[in-house]
Amino acid sequence: MSAIIKFADHVPSQPPVVDGDGLQEEFENINSPDTPLEEKLASALSCILQLQMRISDLQEKMAQSEREVVIKEMLLRNATLRERELRTQLVGKFW
């Protein structure tokens, strides 16, 4: 229980930088000295859950971007190989 109290009393001075007013309100609720401990813990849990959802969304977007990059790299390699083949054919016609 003392670890939870220490956690609830130790709150960063700056709010997390995340878009959305809900998270900002939760952070202000945690920082308020008038807020009861139970509400601070509930607000902290809510902040954590929102941040975890945001992390999950960003991880999904990053995975999608990585897949797109892999596909584009493959297309670029294929185009480069095709260019070499065409150049080889063109040079062969002149010799």
Gap between the Cα atoms of 53 and 61, Å rounded? 12
- Please give the pLDDT value at position 68: 97
Kindly report, residue by residue over 34-84, the tens digit of the pLDDT.
878 888 888 889 889 999 999 999 999 999 999 999 999 999 999 999 999
- Please give the pLDDT value at position 2: 47
Range of the domain at 36: 2-94
Answer whether residue 20 shows pLDDT above 70. Answer: no
Domains held by the chain: number? 1
Our measurement of the distance from residue 74's CA atom to the centroid of its chain's CA atoms, rounded to an integer in Å, reads: 25
Closest by CA position to 42, among listed 20, 26, 57:
26
